[in-house]
Structure 1
Amino acid sequence: MKVLFYNGMNITPHIETEMEIAVDLIKNKHEVYFTHCKGDLLTCCTNPSHVEWICRNCADKKKRAFQLIDIPKKNIIPYPKIVLDETIIPKSFASIDELKQFSYEGSDIGLGVASSLISEQRDHKLNTLLFNEHIQRGLRTALLVHKAGKKILDKVQPDEVVLFNGRFLDIRPFMRLCEQRNIKFYAHERGGTMNKYILCENSTPHSLTAIAKEIETLWGDGGPDKEEIGSRFFTDRRSRITQSWVVFTENQERGRLPEGFDRSKKNIVLYNSSMDEYEGIAGFSSRIYPNDNVGLLKLMESFQHEKNIHFYLRVHPNLKGLENSQVKELDEIGARFKNLTVIRAEEVVDTYSLLDAADIAVAFSSTMGIEASFWGKPVVLLGNAFYDQLNGFYKPSTHEEVVALLHQQLEPLPSKDILKYGYWELERGIYYKYYQPETLFTGKFMEQSVEVSKPKKVVNYLLAKGK
Structure 2
Amino acid sequence: MNILFYNNSFLWNNQSMVSLELAERFKKHKIFFLTCEETLFSCAANPKKIKNICKTCLINKDKTLKNLKKQNNFQELILNKKINYYKFNFKIKNFYQLKEIYYKNMPIGELVISQICDSEKSDYLPTEYILRNKDRILKELNSGIELFESAVSKINNFKIEKIYAWNGRRPSDGPVLFAAKYKRIPFKTFISNAPKKYYLGKGTKSHDLKEIKRLINIYSKYILKKNINLKKIYKNFILNKINNDIHKKNYGYQRINSKKGKKIGEKNYIVFFTSSAYEYAGFKDWDSKIYVDQYQAIKKIINDKRLRDTKIIIRWHPLLKIAGKIEKLRTEDIIKIKAKNVRHVRFDENISSYNILLNADKVITFGSTIVFEADYFKKPIISLTETPYDDLNFFYKASSHEEVINLIKKKINRKVSILPSTYAALIKNETFQFKLKKFNYKNNNYYFKNKKIISYTYLDRLRILISRIFHV
Give the TM-score category using the shorter length: 0.7 to 0.9
> Take 1:200 and 1:231, find their aligned partners in 2: how far apart are those partners?
28
Q: CA deviation at 1:323?
A: 4.8
User: Partner residue of 2:456?
Assistant: 452
Q: CA deviation at 1:186?
A: 0.4
AA matched with 1:159: E
Greater CA deviation, 155-164 or 291-300? 155-164
Please tell me whether the aligned partners of residues 362 and 379 of structure 2 are also in contact (alpha carbons under 8 angstroms): yes
User: Partner residue of 2:327?
Assistant: 326
Q: CA deviation at 1:443?
A: 5.6
Q: Normalised by the size of structure 2, how large is the TM-score?
A: 0.87
Greater CA deviation, 230-239 or 453-462? 453-462
Q: Aligned-residue CA RMSD in angstroms? A: 2.9
AA matched with 1:37: C
> Take 1:323 and 1:253, find their aligned partners in 2: how far apart are those partners?
25
Q: The residue matched to 1:86 in structure 2 has which SS?
A: coil
> Take 1:144 and 1:204, find their aligned partners in 2: how far apart are those partners?
18
Q: CA deviation at 1:445?
A: 4.5
Please tell me whether the aligned partners of residues 53 and 461 of structure 1 are also in contact (alpha carbons under 8 angstroms): no
User: Partner residue of 1:262?
Assistant: 266
> Take 1:463 and 1:130, find their aligned partners in 2: how far apart are those partners?
25
Give the percent of matched residue pairs that are identical in Structure 1 and Structure 2.
21
User: Partner residue of 1:248?
Assistant: 254
Greater CA deviation, 401-410 or 455-464? 455-464
User: What aligned pairs does 1:23-422 form with structure 2 within 5 A after superposition?
Assistant: 23-26=24-27, 29-69=28-68, 72=71, 75-81=75-81, 84=84, 86-90=86-90, 92-123=91-122, 124-126=124-126, 127-190=129-192, 196-222=197-223, 223-225=226-228, 227=230, 228-241=232-245, 242=247, 243-245=249-251, 248=254, 250-252=256-258, 254=260, 256-258=262-264, 261-263=265-267, 266-302=268-304, 306-307=308-309, 309-336=310-337, 337-422=339-424
> Take 2:38 and 2:390, find their aligned partners in 1: how far apart are those partners?
41
Please tell me whether the aligned partners of residues 243 and 257 of structure 2 are also in contact (alpha carbons under 8 angstroms): no
Q: CA deviation at 1:51?
A: 0.7
Please tell me whether the aligned partners of residues 187 and 203 of structure 1 are also in contact (alpha carbons under 8 angstroms): yes
- Say if 1:354 and 1:434 are closer, same or farther in 2 by CA, change over 3 A: farther
Q: CA deviation at 1:297?
A: 0.8
Greater CA deviation, 276-285 or 157-166? 276-285
> Take 2:442 and 2:341, find their aligned partners in 1: how far apart are those partners?
45
User: Partner residue of 1:433?
Assistant: 437
Please tell me whether the aligned partners of residues 7 and 36 of structure 1 are also in contact (alpha carbons under 8 angstroms): yes
Please tell me whether the aligned partners of residues 196 and 441 of structure 2 are also in contact (alpha carbons under 8 angstroms): yes
Please tell me whether the aligned partners of residues 275 and 292 of structure 1 are also in contact (alpha carbons under 8 angstroms): no
- Say if 1:245 and 1:348 are closer, same or farther in 2 by CA, change over 3 A: farther
> Take 1:269 and 1:317, find their aligned partners in 2: how far apart are those partners?
15
- Say if 1:194 and 1:216 are closer, same or farther in 2 by CA, change over 3 A: farther
> Take 2:343 and 2:441, find their aligned partners in 1: how far apart are those partners?
40
Q: CA deviation at 1:275?
A: 4.5
Q: CA deviation at 1:397?
A: 1.2
Q: Normalised by the size of structure 1, how large is the TM-score?
A: 0.88
- Say if 1:388 and 1:436 are closer, same or farther in 2 by CA, change over 3 A: farther
Deviations 1:93-140 (A, max 9, x none): 101211122223333222211221111112212421111222122123
Q: CA deviation at 1:392?
A: 0.8
- Say if 1:311 and 1:376 are closer, same or farther in 2 by CA, change over 3 A: same
> Take 2:455 and 2:237, find their aligned partners in 1: how far apart are those partners?
31
Q: Where does structure 1 lack aligned partners over 5 or more consecutive residues?
A: none
- Say if 1:207 and 1:188 are closer, same or farther in 2 by CA, change over 3 A: same
- Say if 1:45 and 1:460 are closer, same or farther in 2 by CA, change over 3 A: closer
Q: CA deviation at 1:278?
A: 2.3
- Say if 1:311 and 1:438 are closer, same or farther in 2 by CA, change over 3 A: farther
Please tell me whether the aligned partners of residues 57 and 452 of structure 1 are also in contact (alpha carbons under 8 angstroms): no
Q: The residue matched to 1:35 in structure 2 has which SS?
A: strand
Matched, 1:18 2:19: yes
- Say if 1:49 and 1:306 are closer, same or farther in 2 by CA, change over 3 A: same
Please tell me whether the aligned partners of residues 251 and 348 of structure 1 are also in contact (alpha carbons under 8 angstroms): no
Q: The residue matched to 2:45 in structure 1 has which SS?
A: coil
Deviations 1:313-369 (A, max 9, x none): 221223223353333233222222232222222333222222112111111111112
Please tell me whether the aligned partners of residues 116 and 280 of structure 1 are also in contact (alpha carbons under 8 angstroms): no
Q: CA deviation at 1:168?
A: 0.4
Q: Where does structure 2 lack aligned partners over 5 or more consecutive residues?
A: none
Among candidates 415, 424, 427, match of residue 426 of structure 2: 424
* Matched positions, count: 455
AA matched with 2:8: G
> Take 1:365 and 1:60, find their aligned partners in 2: how far apart are those partners?
40
